[in-house]
A and B are shown apart, each in its own frame.
Chain A
């Protein structure tokens, strides 16, 4: 079971959370003006990296707040968690 550091509550076990899929996928500001292919891209297409992956997490059985996290999909190591709206941490600087 993962140990996830909620930016608001601290480390909690995975069962308190819900994963919301890939993070940093901006919802188009004017969906009406874009074509089917572009909309489908937003709706369905996700990266599936082996390695560090940014994903959305909800502390569903805790503070009920959404945040983002970087998780290594190969090792399941959680590299960072950060508030929704914050930019993705640049790991090269770390």
Chain B
């Protein structure tokens, strides 16, 4: 018979809609409304995975997101593969394929299970103790082995084909959790048209009401009240109901991250439907009604398949119409499990109950249960379990008055429900930075003083009775919209109260068998006690040493047990031990949801220059510079980068080259005080710079180090055109705005970015003037009229142009700034005109080589944020006779005038062949013992076709006094000899710029 453990009636599943799933390739029947866990249980499958460390058989432990054991690999075809999904929260859908994890070759036969026999060796801190020595074993043996053995599940190896969406929302009240408290809060908060969002992680809203089959509220059945309430809320236009939506993170200023699952529950989702939607909600007020998680009990062998939480056994029976077993033993230290036993009895299952509490502490509920025909053993402890891949018996014994136990007996069973009390889900409250308060009466941390506009209600607040949950929810919802309104609810009676227990009596050390605290990370009570004995007393240390609570479930069912054990071992009260930090996400969130649309070409914006299309058409190889695409070189047939760059470099110095320099940052500085302002920002002085002239200058940070460099051109007395490095454009503008707005607001200056308004075309080389002359109107290009470092307005190819006579190659050079839209036409006209002159387009790589041949610096290459003008030999750019400027005072700081600073030098390799690595270290003696004394490092290094040998720039301690010295530079193969030289490799007198 299919679904042999499906009850004949009951539950919220749709028996008219059967579904077929695959588990490890084997067909499993289910109904719409099932989770994968309830479907497996309906088919009698408990054993669904192997544990992380010991590879012990594990079963389904819970019915919700707190599940530590039943982690499955979900496959939906193609790249839709997802490891570590909790069986208890995957919705059953036709054709779904799920697989167990952490075993080889199969679930039943697993080689890794040998770890279970080695348990005495694999204690807390095993890795730290074992893999310390010999050091050399780490890289080759230990790490690869650990990496292969570690981790759960398999990551997909093809791209995820699904779409993910991001949405933003604002609301008056966000309510997290649609159980009784959350629903009551939503009813109250949505009065009077306030915008309310109610989010719940499950497929169906209702929380614990979904398995409160026999409960009642205000005279209606619990399920009837639930249906009416959801209908009433949907009818209110200002309420947004978000089922299948997990609030995973609570951030500053009531900013909450939600992830909504839109497609996984559909057998054939529409291709346009996103798989998940990430919501960023900014809520005026938040109500947390996140419920509570049940705790298990700690005894030897408490991890066998078939052993689960008592309330989960109840949920499977009531909500899914599934019997997790035919003979069930409920083991508890509290009252709520009696409801589970009663409901099981009502479903005609054989059930007995073992209560740790003495008869006098639980007589009322015990009597009721006995009256229905159940065996109830009060004052009994659990000593262990029997069975291998499924529990077959629970070993129980009466607890004596002294705590010792008398004769043990085994209760035969195929399912055990554990209840060790409840832990309020305070995760989000704690993430909101609210303080937790320990409530000894319920042995749990509850929300204390909040920091943000947040309230907690119901079980999340430590309130467990149904009527009180509803009333507290109502009050929280009303309070969130500024009403102090109370309402009474008549809810069916709830059984509450429990006796906290850390380890079941009789299971204390010396222990027989292992008693698990954290099922997912295989942490036992013994591991925790060992950690404390070894001195890991703070709870955060115990957590990290034993890994308790660090698995994907974050210890939802385990943390209180671990904390209680530490407190007991240290003989300290729990509040003194404290609790570990709750961090987002509450449950795992897919990378897809976080990334949203930011994938592939949408990951980052791409900036292209006006000449980009021409460069693409002419075979340019591009490099990324910030967000810009820049042509790096233009290879001709069969050329590699080396050959292309060498050809481009030679062409520029022999004939002429054309560079697209449009990415240079450009800022227009306008206003009566512009010159004064620039004199305070740059190292140079500009008050006497005449219109039509340019000056190369440096910008320092206030601490005296170089921030950027560029050309400052005076277009008119009150108008400057300044350039920045490509990467520094926005940084420089912000730096200028900062000083203008905050230090010198009285200066009448306006700053405008004009980077994108102009295409900048750099024509460089001895034939530059000859090429340009016939294309220019209104500008005399002669040396006398337009000398080096001058600027004129005119026309090029009939287009308005700011023509700069500047050079970053050391050759005669012009930079034409033309309106962006005309950039391609002017570029092509220049290329056409230059054909007979050997004009060659060149890219950024040749630009770098050409400037290095002249010893020109590049900010970010020769500088790294700790370099002064003098370090790079540019002290002459610091105006002596002007007043205060940014960074000027710092140039006199003791460290900045230290005689041992590194200075820019040139380097030649002795073999004239080796191109050094940028970043290579320089030492005087390669045979000195390590750590060696490093004297400096290579900042730029190239093959120079114009020199015929490699060239390099370096920063070297006392560099300028080291000219001619022989040093040694690191290479991947060892050291190579270098000779220190002046940083100019060609044209030391700078005569070529004059053509």
Chain A interface (Cβ < 8 Å from any Cβ of B): 1-3, 13-14, 18, 20, 27-28, 30-32, 34, 36, 39-40, 43, 56, 58, 60, 64-66, 75-78, 84-85
A3 engages B255 (CB within 8 Å): yes
B451 nearest CB neighbor, chain A only = A75
Interchain CB contact (< 8 A) of B251 among A1, A27, A34, A60: A1
B253 engages A40 (CB within 8 Å): no
Complex interface: chain B residues within 8 A of A43 (CB): 702-703, 890
Residue B106 interfacial (CB < 8 Å):
no
29 sample A-B contacts, Cβ–Cβ < 8 Å, listed by A number:
A1-B280, A3-B252, A3-B253, A3-B255, A13-B255, A13-B282, A27-B743, A31-B884, A32-B883, A32-B884, A32-B888, A34-B889, A36-B893, A39-B889, A39-B890, A39-B893, A43-B890, A56-B742, A58-B734, A58-B738, A60-B734, A64-B737, A66-B741, A75-B433, A76-B253, A76-B433, A77-B451, A84-B741, A84-B745
CB under 8 Å from chain A, chain B span 723-745: 734, 737-738, 741-743, 745
Complex interface: chain A residues within 8 A of B253 (CB): 1-3, 76, 78
A3 nearest CB neighbor, chain B only = B253
Per-residue A-contact encoding for B865-894, CB less than 8 Å = 1, 0 else:
000000000000000000110001110111
Complex interface: chain B residues within 8 A of A30 (CB): 884
Complex interface: chain A residues within 8 A of B702 (CB): 43
Complex interface: chain A residues within 8 A of B433 (CB): 75-76
Per-residue A-contact encoding for B670-703, CB less than 8 Å = 1, 0 else:
0000000000000000000000000000000011
Q: How many A-B residue pairs have CB under 8 A?
A: 59
Complex interface: chain A residues within 8 A of B280 (CB): 1
Min C-beta distance of A70 to chain B, whole Å: 15
Complex interface: chain B residues within 8 A of A3 (CB): 252-253, 255, 282
CB under 8 Å from chain A, chain B span 618-669: none
Interchain CB contact (< 8 A) of B252 among A2, A18, A27, A28: A2
CB under 8 Å from chain A, chain B span 852-873: none
Complex interface: chain A residues within 8 A of B252 (CB): 1-3, 14, 76
Per the bound structure, the CA–CA distance linking A34 and B889 in Å amounts to 9
B743 engages A1 (CB within 8 Å): no
A66 engages B737 (CB within 8 Å): yes
Min C-beta distance of A15 to chain B, whole Å: 11
Task: Contacts A18-B734, A36-B894, A66-B741 known; list 8 others, CB within 8 Å.
Answer: A1-B253, A36-B893, A56-B742, A58-B734, A64-B737, A66-B737, A77-B451, A84-B745
B738 engages A20 (CB within 8 Å): yes
Per the bound structure, the CA–CA distance linking A92 and B253 in Å amounts to 23
Min C-beta distance of B253 to chain A, whole Å: 4
Min C-beta distance of A91 to chain B, whole Å: 18
Complex interface: chain B residues within 8 A of A84 (CB): 741-742, 745
Min C-beta distance of B730 to chain A, whole Å: 9
Per the bound structure, the CA–CA distance linking A13 and B281 in Å amounts to 12
Count of interface residues, chain B, beta-carbon cutoff 8 Å: 25
B280 nearest CB neighbor, chain A only = A1
Chain B interface (Cβ < 8 Å from any Cβ of A): 251-253, 255, 280, 282, 433, 451, 702-703, 734, 737-738, 741-743, 745, 883-884, 888-890, 892-894
Complex interface: chain B residues within 8 A of A64 (CB): 737
Interchain CB contact (< 8 A) of A32 among B734, B743, B889: B889
Per the bound structure, the CA–CA distance linking A3 and B888 in Å amounts to 37
Per the bound structure, the CA–CA distance linking A18 and B742 in Å amounts to 15
Per the bound structure, the CA–CA distance linking A75 and B432 in Å amounts to 9
A66 engages B742 (CB within 8 Å): yes
Min C-beta distance of B907 to chain A, whole Å: 34
Per the bound structure, the CA–CA distance linking A30 and B892 in Å amounts to 14
Per the bound structure, the CA–CA distance linking A76 and B254 in Å amounts to 11
Complex interface: chain A residues within 8 A of B884 (CB): 30-32
Complex interface: chain B residues within 8 A of A31 (CB): 884, 888-889
Complex interface: chain B residues within 8 A of A28 (CB): 889
Min C-beta distance of B745 to chain A, whole Å: 7
A40 nearest CB neighbor, chain B only = B893
Min C-beta distance of B434 to chain A, whole Å: 10
B255 nearest CB neighbor, chain A only = A1
B702 nearest CB neighbor, chain A only = A43
Min C-beta distance of B567 to chain A, whole Å: 27
**Chain A to chain B: the 8 pairs with minimum beta-carbon distance, closest first:** A31-B889, A3-B253, A66-B741, A1-B255, A75-B451, A76-B252, A2-B252, A66-B742
Complex interface: chain A residues within 8 A of B743 (CB): 27
A4 nearest CB neighbor, chain B only = B253
B741 engages A65 (CB within 8 Å): yes
Min C-beta distance of A88 to chain B, whole Å: 14
Per the bound structure, the CA–CA distance linking A34 and B884 in Å amounts to 12
Min C-beta distance of A24 to chain B, whole Å: 11
Min C-beta distance of A16 to chain B, whole Å: 13
Min C-beta distance of B888 to chain A, whole Å: 7
Per the bound structure, the CA–CA distance linking A18 and B737 in Å amounts to 13
Complex interface: chain B residues within 8 A of A14 (CB): 252
Per the bound structure, the CA–CA distance linking A65 and B433 in Å amounts to 31
Per the bound structure, the CA–CA distance linking A14 and B251 in Å amounts to 12
Per the bound structure, the CA–CA distance linking A7 and B889 in Å amounts to 33
Complex interface: chain B residues within 8 A of A34 (CB): 889
Min C-beta distance of B633 to chain A, whole Å: 35
Per the bound structure, the CA–CA distance linking A43 and B894 in Å amounts to 14
Complex interface: chain B residues within 8 A of A32 (CB): 883-884, 888-889
Task: Identify the interface centre among B433, B703, B742, B883: most chain A CB within 10 Å of its CB.
Answer: B742
Complex interface: chain A residues within 8 A of B883 (CB): 32
Complex interface: chain A residues within 8 A of B742 (CB): 56, 66, 84
Per the bound structure, the CA–CA distance linking A40 and B894 in Å amounts to 11
Complex interface: chain A residues within 8 A of B889 (CB): 28, 31-32, 34, 39
Per the bound structure, the CA–CA distance linking A49 and B904 in Å amounts to 41
Complex interface: chain B residues within 8 A of A2 (CB): 252-253
Min C-beta distance of A42 to chain B, whole Å: 9
Per the bound structure, the CA–CA distance linking A77 and B745 in Å amounts to 29
Per the bound structure, the CA–CA distance linking A40 and B703 in Å amounts to 9
Complex interface: chain A residues within 8 A of B892 (CB): 36
Min C-beta distance of B457 to chain A, whole Å: 22
Min C-beta distance of B255 to chain A, whole Å: 5
Per the bound structure, the CA–CA distance linking A84 and B742 in Å amounts to 7
B745 engages A85 (CB within 8 Å): yes
Per the bound structure, the CA–CA distance linking A85 and B433 in Å amounts to 33
Per the bound structure, the CA–CA distance linking A64 and B733 in Å amounts to 10
Task: Identify the interface centre among B282, B737, B889: most chain A CB within 10 Å of its CB.
Answer: B889
A1 nearest CB neighbor, chain B only = B255
Per the bound structure, the CA–CA distance linking A36 and B892 in Å amounts to 8
A60 nearest CB neighbor, chain B only = B734
Complex interface: chain A residues within 8 A of B741 (CB): 65-66, 84
Per the bound structure, the CA–CA distance linking A65 and B883 in Å amounts to 27
Complex interface: chain B residues within 8 A of A78 (CB): 253
Min C-beta distance of B11 to chain A, whole Å: 42
Per the bound structure, the CA–CA distance linking A34 and B892 in Å amounts to 11
Min C-beta distance of B547 to chain A, whole Å: 30
Per the bound structure, the CA–CA distance linking A4 and B892 in Å amounts to 39
Min C-beta distance of B668 to chain A, whole Å: 15
A84 nearest CB neighbor, chain B only = B742
Min C-beta distance of A23 to chain B, whole Å: 9
Per the bound structure, the CA–CA distance linking A60 and B741 in Å amounts to 13
Task: Identify the interface centre among B253, B703, B892: most chain A CB within 10 Å of its CB.
Answer: B253
Per the bound structure, the CA–CA distance linking A60 and B730 in Å amounts to 10
Min C-beta distance of A22 to chain B, whole Å: 12
Complex interface: chain B residues within 8 A of A66 (CB): 737-738, 741-742
Min C-beta distance of B214 to chain A, whole Å: 45
Complex interface: chain A residues within 8 A of B255 (CB): 1, 3, 13
Complex interface: chain B residues within 8 A of A36 (CB): 892-894
Min C-beta distance of A54 to chain B, whole Å: 13
Min C-beta distance of A45 to chain B, whole Å: 13
Per the bound structure, the CA–CA distance linking A6 and B883 in Å amounts to 35
Per the bound structure, the CA–CA distance linking A65 and B341 in Å amounts to 66
Complex interface: chain A residues within 8 A of B734 (CB): 18, 58, 60
Complex interface: chain B residues within 8 A of A39 (CB): 889-890, 893
B886 nearest CB neighbor, chain A only = A27
